[in-house]
Amino acid sequence: MHRMLDAGIAVAVKALEPQLIDFIQLLVRTPSLPNEEHAVQQQIAAQLRALGMAVDEVPTDFATLRTHAAFNDDGFAPTGRLNIVGRWRGSGAARGRGSLILNGHVDVVAPGKLTQWNDPPWSGLLRDGRIWGRGSCDMKAGLAAGIFALAALQRAGLQPAHDVLLQSVIGEESGGAGTLTTIVQGYRADAAIVLEPTSLQLCPVQSGALTFRLRVAGRAAHAALRSHGVSAIEKFALLLATLQQLEVARHAGFASALYSDPRHAAPISIGTVRAGEWHSTVAEELVAEGRMGVFPGETPAQARAAMQTAVSQAAAADDWLSAHPPQVEWFEGQFEAGATPLDHALLQALQAAHLAALGAPAAMRAVTYGSDLRLFTNHAHIPAVLYGPGDVTLAHAANESIAVDEVLRAVHVLALFVADWCGAARA
Ligand SMILES: [Zn+2]
């Protein structure tokens, strides 16, 4: 990368710190639970317009998504939720590698028990070098970092040769309807960075996740005569052991240095169990719901078949369950895995920018949670990577926060990356 250019960008990033803090605080102080993203999206749009970008307001409409293989109906409003796409038009000069999408979601999860928070969840307080509040880490700071990387380039007097798109989307936490909308509406680029909190690690691989429900039948009887009944709870215990064995067996043949815990790259977890009607009645029915991980390279259909086979085999070995087979249902989120090849030029260029800005290479990681990365890699055929400030273990938790220093580092890396990838030069 060009040394003079880099120095100008570094100065510009530092100068933008007060505005960056203000903007993250503004975003955090504007609650954006699913279905309620409108106000924060207008703030994003205003910021992009202030940077001179052409801004599209792109409404989500389930009617246009429903037939898409990657669509998940999240149960929220099927129309009207706005996505924002800002475009910084490239000069068209013969420089750089291509166009770019910077993508982030504005929807946040509910704050949970308010008594667990030291400050109100929408405080946006700046304390101890951190900004506090729901959405600070996941992922309003990441989205702000993408926007301010572009602001830094402008401040340094630079213009890209190729288009840069800044996408602020809704509905990521509940299935990805926002990013899918942008794909269906034809927004494209040669690469995408999804600005999720990765602690500034490069994460080009994500596992998938499938939500499932298990229905187990029993036969009711008075607890005093329990041998006359069949407990759905006891039969579920057999199936739970089966699922635990399935998780171990599925990981036996799996190895990847990208996962910090390769034995749980695609975990199987039961989240809810409801059974029985009365303490002195043998439970007649049990309904359990959970989440099954999908390995990179595995299709959701393959993962679903593996669970169905395991459950069927367990049932066949039990007299009651073979006559009353447990039902496996798949519902709500059905998220594919996604991956960008590790030798892709996108990753090399981002790694080079990270090294130039911060003086040490970034770790390369896979993540076990679902994200919009899969929509880019699998359905838009756009190479994509997760990269952003923030510790994902703080996401969705009480007292969520983000370190301002880390956001500034992200802005610096992203600005250098955009300059290189999109071929920035003096305007
Ligand atoms: Zn997120």
Contact indicator for 126, 404 with CB cutoff of 8 Å: yes
Amino acid symbol at 368: T
Average pLDDT over residues 297-318: 97
pLDDT bracket for residue 348 (50, 70, 90): very high
Burial of 227 (0-12, 13-18, 19+ CB in 10 A): exposed
Average pLDDT over residues 255-283: 95
- pLDDT number for residue 6: 85
- pLDDT number for residue 382: 98
CA atoms of 66 and 226, how far apart (whole Å): 48
- pLDDT number for residue 174: 86
Burial of 419 (0-12, 13-18, 19+ CB in 10 A): buried
Using one digit for the tens of pLDDT, what is the confidence trace for 109-135? 999 999 999 999 999 999 999 999 999
Average pLDDT, the chain: 96
To the query of whether residue 172 is one of the catalytic residues in this protein, the response is: yes
Contact indicator for 104, 195 with CB cutoff of 8 Å: yes
Average pLDDT over residues 313-323: 98
- pLDDT number for residue 427: 82
Contact indicator for 55, 85 with CB cutoff of 8 Å: yes
Q: Which of 104, 298, 297 is nearest to 192 (CA)?
A: 104
Active-site hit among 37, 138, 163, 172: 172
Q: How far is the CA of 395 from the centre of ligand 1 (A)?
A: 8
Percent of the chain with pLDDT over 90: 94
Q: How far is the CA of 108 from the centre of ligand 1 (A)?
A: 8
To the query of whether residue 277 is one of the catalytic residues in this protein, the response is: no
Question: What pTM does this model have?
Answer: 0.93
Give me the domains of the chain, ranges plus CATH numbers. 3-206+337-426 (3.40.630.10), 208-333 (3.30.70.360)
Active-site hit among 107, 247, 336, 406: 107
CA atoms of 99 and 160, how far apart (whole Å): 9
Structure tokens at 326: 């447990």
- pLDDT number for residue 5: 80
CA atoms of 136 and 126, how far apart (whole Å): 11
- pLDDT number for residue 357: 97
Q: How far is the CA of 146 from the centre of ligand 1 (A)?
A: 14
Q: How far is the CA of 177 from the centre of ligand 1 (A)?
A: 14
- pLDDT number for residue 77: 93
Q: How far is the CA of 397 from the centre of ligand 1 (A)?
A: 12
- pLDDT number for residue 332: 84
The DSSP secondary structure of 356-410, one letter per residue, reads HHHSSPPPEEEESS--THHIIIIII---EEE--SS-GGGTTSTT-EEEHHHHHHH
